A and B are shown apart, each in its own frame.
Chain A
Amino acid sequence: MSTPLLEATGLFKSYPAVKVLKNVNLTVAGGDTFAIIGPNGAGKTTLFKVLSGELFPDSGQVAHEGRDVTTVPAWQRVRLGFGRSFQVARVFSDLTTEDNVVVSVEAHRRNAGLGQRRPLAWAPTAEVREGVMETLREVGLVDKRRVVARLLSHGDKKRLELAMCLALQPKILMLDEPTAGMSPADRKSATELLAMVKERHGMTIVLTEHDMDVVFGLATKVAVLHYGEIVAQGAPDAVRKDPLVRDIYLGHGGAGAGHA
């Protein structure tokens, strides 16, 4: 078997008052769309932070292509090909939509060693502007490129954040609840956008969701997190049929148990 792209072994993480992650193990292979699902409070965001380097675990290991990256800080993991979005979209709210992506493209080009050819020019180079337009076109924000990000709708902020991640040309795209707080219609278009992105770039995606139905069209592999423990992991259909999972999602309060 080849080395997995991302592997977590025996992760534990506590906050002063709560034990959040309890012996989490998971394996993401290259090309997977890996969905971590679980009700609110299960520890998905915490797991995400540990995987992406925002937090370090109390014990356990995170490995990237076989290399231990447990305590590698976030900005260095980005250079290894991690691109991450936040549950509540975080964009640079006083910059325009366009400039948010400019900053991202320039950060990527700098890290990838693609030098600027005109050292004294201050405006973004033609290559940067091209990359920005292409990314904005992909997420459908070209018309709003001059809008100050603070004034964007919730859904558009999520799109912008996705654009910022895509600008980094990540090998692993990590999305924390990419459809959180969206209307069903927005949710559908966001899911379609993700499917399209996946098809075009073929990168590995790791995402979290509290709503099981969203991920089943998208995911190639699903892990169910329940009170900080992975209770099921595998192909979507197998996981959906798992009695324990059915119990968690259908047992208490029906299909909507996971909704906030």
Chain B
Amino acid sequence: MEPSPAQASPLMRFGLAMLCMAAFLALPGIADKGIVFLAGTVALQMVFGLTWNLMFGQTGLVSFGHASFFAVGGYAYAYAARALPQVHPLLTFAGAGLLCAAIAALVGLIALRRSQGVYFAILTLALSQIVYLVISSSAALGREDGFTGIRRPKLPLGWTTIDLAAGNAYYYFIVVVSALLAGIVWWVTHSRVGRVFRAIQQDPERAAFLGIPVQRYRLMSYAIASGVAGVTGALFGPWLQILTPEVAHWTASARPILYTLLGGVHFFWGPAVGALGFAVLEYGTRTLHGISEIVTGAILLAVVLAAPGGILGAVARLRQRITGKERRP
């Protein structure tokens, strides 16, 4: 199912993913607080990017409003954790995700009814505007000032209770749960359902003539992506300890698209690599006051133009050039 014969072997790719996770886990020991905070945010953005590409790269759905679910998940968790503090935090996190999946399923029933992708793209954009307006005008959600004082919960695990507010506990929690969420998206992508998604992405009509209920699977893709995106948003609230309507802004919906372009749309890990690259870019240009966006934008543009397959596309071509001669009989 992989688009390029020059990709690393599955074992090697698994090893790289593990190495990446180990690096995240080792970070607090070697880096300062600022970098650790950035890394936690990046871990969530990596998963957020993966969920967008589950829709786009795998199923062929273009969403311009993916941040709505990040925001709804974030605010729903923050609200529920305050209103129902006795509920196990893992349930509250999962609940925020399920709420997002349910909203996506309902919206998708309308937005996916027409087969034209433009219709879906515009409706997701409209949804994100609605979410933005609702959040920024709702007193219960803190309006423009934001939802403040979101606490990092205590995590009862039966035999012990971990206080996620202590030290770097919440950072480790983010990394572990992000890995788990990425694993879920990986599994969906590589399972039978993922194969159906790819078939639909390439030719929905042909897929229908194999007896595949195309709309149902598109809905499933949208709901899964939105549900997982909701959990990443839910995790983000306690990390920042405040949520502002910015998380639902259309620029936040543009991020996973940029990650995907930067990392490589044809690769499962493309958006994650893109999110990482994006963060490095932003960090590297943070001292260029006033022009950091311009420099970031220019570098992004250069990468996308020079390497249409993104970073991973360029890596694959390089591998092909190095190993190509041996591969050919």
Residue of B nearest to A104 (CB): B210
The residues of A that contact B196 with a CB separation of less than 8 Å are: 103, 106-107
Q: Contact between A122 and B187 (Cβ–Cβ < 8 Å)?
A: yes
Q: Does A93 contact B (CB under 8 A)?
A: yes
Q: Contact between B206 and A91 (Cβ–Cβ < 8 Å)?
A: yes
Least distance between B197 CB and chain A CB atoms (Å): 10
Q: How many residues of B contact A (CB 8 A)?
A: 23
Q: Which of B187, B192, B209, B211 contacts A116 (CB 8 A)?
A: B192
The residues of A that contact B206 with a CB separation of less than 8 Å are: 86, 90-92
Q: Is the interface of B mostly helix, strand, loop or mixed?
A: helix
A171 to B246, CA, bound (A): 56
Flag the segment in A18-26, A39-47, A72-80, A246-254 that touches B: A72-80
A73 to B115, CA, bound (A): 14
Least distance between A173 CB and chain B CB atoms (Å): 12
A168 to B1, CA, bound (A): 21
Q: Does B190 contact A (CB under 8 A)?
A: yes
The residues of B that contact A168 with a CB separation of less than 8 Å are: 210-211
The residues of A that contact B199 with a CB separation of less than 8 Å are: 92, 95, 103
Q: Does A9 contact B (CB under 8 A)?
A: no
Q: Contact between A107 and B210 (Cβ–Cβ < 8 Å)?
A: yes
Contacts A75-B208, A78-B209: A92 and B198 contacting too (C-beta < 8 A)?
Answer: yes
Q: Which of B3, B190, B203, B212 contacts A90 (CB 8 A)?
A: B203
The residues of B that contact A204 with a CB separation of less than 8 Å are: none
Q: Does B213 contact A (CB under 8 A)?
A: yes
Residues from 75 to 126 in A contacting B, C-beta threshold 8 Å: 75-76, 78-79, 83-84, 86, 90-96, 99, 102-104, 106-108, 110-111, 116, 120, 122-124
The residues of B that contact A123 with a CB separation of less than 8 Å are: 190
Q: Does A164 contact B (CB under 8 A)?
A: yes
Q: Contact between A94 and B202 (Cβ–Cβ < 8 Å)?
A: yes
Interface string of B204-219 (1 = CB under 8 A from A): 0111111111100000
Q: Does B195 contact A (CB under 8 A)?
A: yes
The residues of B that contact A116 with a CB separation of less than 8 Å are: 192
The residues of A that contact B190 with a CB separation of less than 8 Å are: 122-123
The residues of B that contact A104 with a CB separation of less than 8 Å are: 210
Residue of A nearest to B1 (CB): A99
Residue of A nearest to B266 (CB): A94
Q: Does B191 contact A (CB under 8 A)?
A: yes
Which B residues are within 8 Å of any A CB, using their own CB?
Answer: 1, 3, 187, 190-192, 194-196, 198-199, 202-203, 205-214
Q: List 20 A-B contacts (CB under 8 A).
A: A74-B205, A75-B208, A75-B212, A78-B208, A90-B205, A90-B206, A92-B199, A94-B202, A96-B1, A99-B1, A103-B195, A103-B199, A103-B210, A107-B210, A107-B211, A110-B192, A111-B211, A116-B192, A122-B194, A124-B192
